[in-house]
Amino acid sequence: MSYPTDEGGVGFKKLQDICNSFAAKRWWRFRVENNLWTRFLRAKYCQRSNPISKKLDPKDSNSWRSLLEARNKVDLNIQWKINKGNSLNTNVSNFLNNHGWNIELLKDTVPQEVVYEVKHINIGQNDIQDQAVKQHDIKIKHCFREGNEVADALAKHATTIMQQIIFLNENDLPSEARKAICMDRQQVPNFRIRPRKHAGWFFEPP
């Protein structure tokens, strides 16, 4: 059922993929943003170590564990504009001076071909934090239709049958589910109207 509709599935997304995408988004915000949530995590887990080199502790919370699992996939794809040199695993600030890169120290530490590549990297202001470079102009549009309408239709249909049925084709689905899939493809908004609970009658004594 998690296959796309054009491949015979219903189009449900795998729960693990959704959790992984949320964890990647949280790690991105943890690395590039500066708010109350990120400052709290840095003070609790990364007070004495860099987030890249931070090792998992058995006492860490589940939310921090999920962030570290997404770290290896997300952080390798983040490009940084070096200012103070504190964003990477290696302390880049050790190779900086008031005039830019410390070429002599680089020659004593890394191969010559690496020195040639590094010295062409521009250095920003050394009094501000490193900044993540936005590589793509990506815009996310919210789908106003709820994704569980098809699941609701299948659940209602399950209450009317007595045997187990496996749907292998979209055409075999109940009519309510096929209508919901068609509306999903057309991006038709779905509005759920909840009935208001009656407050009851109140009679004041005379």
Q: What is the pLDDT of residues 187-199, one digit of tens each?
A: 666 666 666 655 5
Predicted model pTM: 0.51
| The pair of three-digit structure tokens given for residue 123, joined into one six-digit string | 């250095």
Mean pLDDT over all residues of the chain? 75
* Per-residue tens of pLDDT for the chain, all 206 residues: 566 666 666 666 677 777 888 888 888 888 888 889 888 988 888 888 778 778 888 888 888 888 888 887 887 777 777 776 666 555 666 777 776 777 788 788 878 887 887 777 777 776 677 767 765 555 545 444 555 677 788 888 888 888 888 888 888 888 888 888 887 777 666 666 666 655 555 555 55
Q: Sign (positive/negative) of CA torsion 47, 52, 56, 62?
A: positive
Cα(4)–Cα(8) distance, integer angstroms: 7
Residue ranges per structural domain of the chain? 5-76, 83-140, 141-186
Q: Sign (positive/negative) of CA torsion 87, 93, 98, 104?
A: negative
Nearest to 173 by CA among 14, 8, 15: 8
Cβ(80)–Cβ(131) below 8 Å:
yes
Amino acid at 149: E
Cβ(55)–Cβ(48) below 8 Å:
no
Amino acid at 121: I
Cα(18)–Cα(173) distance, integer angstroms: 25
| The pair of three-digit structure tokens given for residue 80, joined into one six-digit string | 């940084």
Cα(41)–Cα(30) distance, integer angstroms: 8
What's the pLDDT at 142? 47
